[in-house]
Chain A
Amino acid sequence: MNFGLSDEQEMIVSTVRDFVEREIYPHEAEVERTGEVPMEVAQEIKRKVIDLGFYACSFPEEVGGAGLSHLDFALVERELGRGSMALTHFFGRPQNILMACEGDQKERYLLPAVRGDRMDALAMTEPEAGSDVRGMACTAVRDGGDWVLNGTKHFISGADHADFFIVFVATGVDDTPKGPKKRITCFLVDRGHPGFTVRDGYRSVSHRGYKNCILEFYACRLPDAQVLGAVDGGFEVMNTWLYATRITVATMSVGRARRVFDHALSYAAERKQFGQQIGKFQGVSFQIADMITEIDAADWLTLSAAWRLDQGLPANREIASAKLYASEMLARVTDATLQIHGGMGLMDDYPIERFWRDARVERIWDGTSEIQRHIISRDLLRPLGA
């Protein structure tokens, strides 16, 4: 067993961290204040990342990526997790599901996404279908040789900057012994396509400036050429490609927790009350000890899940454990850090309140903590017939 990083991995980590500290941090306060990423800032970040060869770096070299392993990419995302999501969005991490593109879809979607010419967004969630993906009400029905889409998607992250969308809709119902089950198909839909509208979404307490949008499909007509994967094969592309991406929340939570922890540590060492540094009080020092222990635990849990993906080992449960633990760890670390800062922690002069707010969504999106616990426990109990 070797827990060390290679020289390349060390350099990847230090380069991405330097980049986040120098190119992302300086813009965070403004994004937080205005809730917007200025277009020129977004373009500048994107251009620099492309120049550095980090844009879409998890994609294979054959399609223009850097072919990073799951572990390497987890290290990249861990460092990105330090920065504001609204800004690191432009670091360029297209959905790897685009690898399912075939024929001229590659020229139209995959390659431009990897080059950074076109940005994508994934659309799955609906007002009535969150964790229960099969409950989706968006449909596509055959009309002549085409498909006609109707319905609404919401909470679509990054939709405001997306040039095209990867949209999952129901394309029929199967009768099974367990009752009716919807068939799902994945479509590629261009922004501005007739019958398709992107609307502003809700204002979220977490990740200001990283917007979620509402997508509306009204008699939106698409040819077969827009189907990603097979007709009725939505679950297959989802399981093939989205399986590994669930680790993202875990990696980014670990990176952010380390940044937050540094604030807690230095404040505990500097702030004086009752004639001494508050870090000398056991009530504070023990929190510091618990925080770093949990961060390290989450870090190793996450990296080992990524390593399993690289080894081709089953990682479903491990990814779920990493996502569950890292996101809940981040909640505890941000809360304890705020507590150590006292009243100042709540003031928006300091970034602590923002980290605390941002942490809340990590336990919800990409599968709630409860869904992760379900995945973990089913993985263990199903083989035993329970």
Chain B
Amino acid sequence: MKVLVPVKRVIDYNVKVRVKADGSGVDLANVKMSMNPFDEIAVEEAIRLKEAGKADEIIAVSIGVKQSQETLRTALAMGADRAILVVAADDVHTDIEPLAVAKILAAIIKEEEPGLVLCGKQAIDNDLGATGQMLSALLGWSQAMYANKVDIDGDHAVVTREVDGGLQTVKVKMPTIISTDLRLNEPRYASLPNIMKAKKKPLDEKTAADYGVDVTPRLEIVKTSEPEERAAGIKVGSVDELVEKLKEAGAV
């Protein structure tokens, strides 16, 4: 079985983000970029499936600017077998929207015919969390989102999902789309031999036009702003005062 893993190049989770002066988005010039952490979990899960003999090939796909190649090399260094880069933007500030991403992925899936798509539950840059679901609708495949545990068993998969009330276990028919939640696994470090091998693994470069997909944004970003700064707290002198203040605040 082939496993397809879409990976997105996003601002590194350690970077303190800064909103651009014109409010059009976050400043990404000269900022450290990394693989979306949820996608890293998806790559790890795919590698574990391969190690368990349930998958034989892992294809990593990234859609965005040319620099997404670095993200794909990381996936290859972790253990993916080959990669497809779909260049769909020139400016690092252009975010390809979920529907366009899903359409391109659907086109790739028609060519590659994977038995499973493992994707991150959302990208940490825009937090939209929609690609997997849209892809499922476009393909007419089953979906199991927010996976906390994945068990592939022949023609179906048993997936434990993280839902608001706790955990929910579903059984879905293969081929399927599974999105990964934070607790599914802990991604491995790229080993030195794999880092050295990554360059030799095939990386196909395509464009959005190759798949006939229009990536023009359909959403308009009205404004991006910093979260409000938390107001400083106050010091209380006694327990009585504390209780009084809590009552004032309606907390007790």
A contacts, CB < 8 Å to B: 7-8, 10-12, 14-15, 18-19, 51-54, 57, 66, 68
Of B1-9, B172-180, B192-200, which binds chain A?
A: B192-200
Please name 24 pairs of A and B residues whose Cβ atoms are closer than 8 Å in the assembled complex, sorted by A: A7-B70, A7-B198, A7-B199, A8-B195, A8-B198, A8-B199, A11-B73, A11-B77, A12-B192, A14-B34, A14-B74, A15-B77, A15-B190, A15-B192, A19-B189, A51-B191, A53-B191, A53-B194, A54-B191, A57-B192, A66-B192, A66-B193, A66-B196, A68-B192
Which of B69, B191, B196 makes the CB contact (< 8 A) with A8?
B196
Once the chains are docked, how many angstroms separate the CA of A49 from the CA of B73? 21
Taking A15-B195, A52-B192 as known contacts, 7 extra A-B pairs with beta carbons closer than 8 A to each other, sorted by chain A number, are A8-B195, A10-B70, A11-B190, A11-B195, A12-B195, A15-B189, A54-B192
Q: 8 Å CB contacts to A: which residues of B78-99? A: none
Q: 8 Å CB contacts to A: which residues of B181-205? A: 189-196, 198-199
Residues of B within 8 A of A8 (CB): 195-196, 198-199
Given known contacts A7-B73, A10-B70, A11-B73, A53 and B193 CB-to-CB distance under 8 angstroms: yes
Contact with A along B12-32 (1 / 0, CB 8 A): 000000000000000000000
Residues of A within 8 A of B74 (CB): 11, 14
Size class of the B contact interface (CB-based, 8 Å): 10 to 19
CB–CB B192/A53 < 8 A? yes
Once the chains are docked, how many angstroms separate the CA of A53 from the CA of B191? 6
Once the chains are docked, how many angstroms separate the CA of A8 from the CA of B196? 6
Residues of B within 8 A of A14 (CB): 34, 74
Once the chains are docked, how many angstroms separate the CA of A51 from the CA of B189? 10
Residues of A within 8 A of B190 (CB): 11, 15
Contact with A along B53-80 (1 / 0, CB 8 A): 0000000000000000110011001000
Q: How many CB-defined contacts (below 8 Å) exist between A and B? A: 42
Given known contacts A8-B196, A8-B198, A66-B196, A52 and B189 CB-to-CB distance under 8 angstroms: yes
Once the chains are docked, how many angstroms separate the CA of A19 from the CA of B73? 18
Shortest beta-carbon distance from B177 to chain A in Å: 28
Residues of B within 8 A of A19 (CB): 189
Once the chains are docked, how many angstroms separate the CA of A199 from the CA of B216? 72
Once the chains are docked, how many angstroms separate the CA of A15 from the CA of B193? 12
With a 10 A CB-CB cut-off, give which of B73, B190, B195, B196 has the most chain A CB atoms: B195
Once the chains are docked, how many angstroms separate the CA of A197 from the CA of B73? 50
User: Whose C-beta in chain B lies nearest to the C-beta of A9?
Assistant: B195
Shortest beta-carbon distance from B225 to chain A in Å: 20
Residues of B within 8 A of A15 (CB): 77, 189-190, 192, 195
User: Whose C-beta in chain A lies nearest to the C-beta of B77?
Assistant: A11
User: Whose C-beta in chain B lies nearest to the C-beta of A11?
Assistant: B195
With a 10 A CB-CB cut-off, give which of A19, A57, A66, A68 has the most chain B CB atoms: A66
Residues of B within 8 A of A57 (CB): 192
Once the chains are docked, how many angstroms separate the CA of A66 from the CA of B190? 14
Residues of B within 8 A of A53 (CB): 191-194
Residues of B within 8 A of A54 (CB): 191-192
Shortest beta-carbon distance from A169 to chain B in Å: 36
Given known contacts A7-B73, A11-B77, A18 and B199 CB-to-CB distance under 8 angstroms: no
Residues of B within 8 A of A68 (CB): 192
Residues of B within 8 A of A18 (CB): 189
Residues of B within 8 A of A7 (CB): 69-70, 73, 198-199
User: Whose C-beta in chain B lies nearest to the C-beta of A16?
Assistant: B189
Residues of B within 8 A of A51 (CB): 191
Shortest beta-carbon distance from B26 to chain A in Å: 18
Shortest beta-carbon distance from B107 to chain A in Å: 27
Once the chains are docked, how many angstroms separate the CA of A29 from the CA of B193? 32
Which of B34, B69, B191 makes the CB contact (< 8 A) with A52?
B191
With a 10 A CB-CB cut-off, give which of A8, A51, A57 has the most chain B CB atoms: A8
Shortest beta-carbon distance from B219 to chain A in Å: 32
Contact with A along B132-155 (1 / 0, CB 8 A): 000000000000000000000000
User: Whose C-beta in chain A lies nearest to the C-beta of B74?
Assistant: A11
Shortest beta-carbon distance from B98 to chain A in Å: 27
Once the chains are docked, how many angstroms separate the CA of A12 from the CA of B189? 10
Once the chains are docked, how many angstroms separate the CA of A357 from the CA of B193? 36
Shortest beta-carbon distance from A86 to chain B in Å: 21
Shortest beta-carbon distance from A140 to chain B in Å: 39
Once the chains are docked, how many angstroms separate the CA of A14 from the CA of B74? 10
Shortest beta-carbon distance from B66 to chain A in Å: 13
Once the chains are docked, how many angstroms separate the CA of A19 from the CA of B195? 15
With a 10 A CB-CB cut-off, give which of A14, A18, A66, A68 has the most chain B CB atoms: A14
Residues of A within 8 A of B73 (CB): 7, 11
Residues of A within 8 A of B69 (CB): 7
Contact with A along B31-59 (1 / 0, CB 8 A): 00010000000000000000000000000
Once the chains are docked, how many angstroms separate the CA of A66 from the CA of B198? 15
User: Whose C-beta in chain B lies nearest to the C-beta of A51?
Assistant: B191
Once the chains are docked, how many angstroms separate the CA of A36 from the CA of B166? 42
Once the chains are docked, how many angstroms separate the CA of A68 from the CA of B195? 12
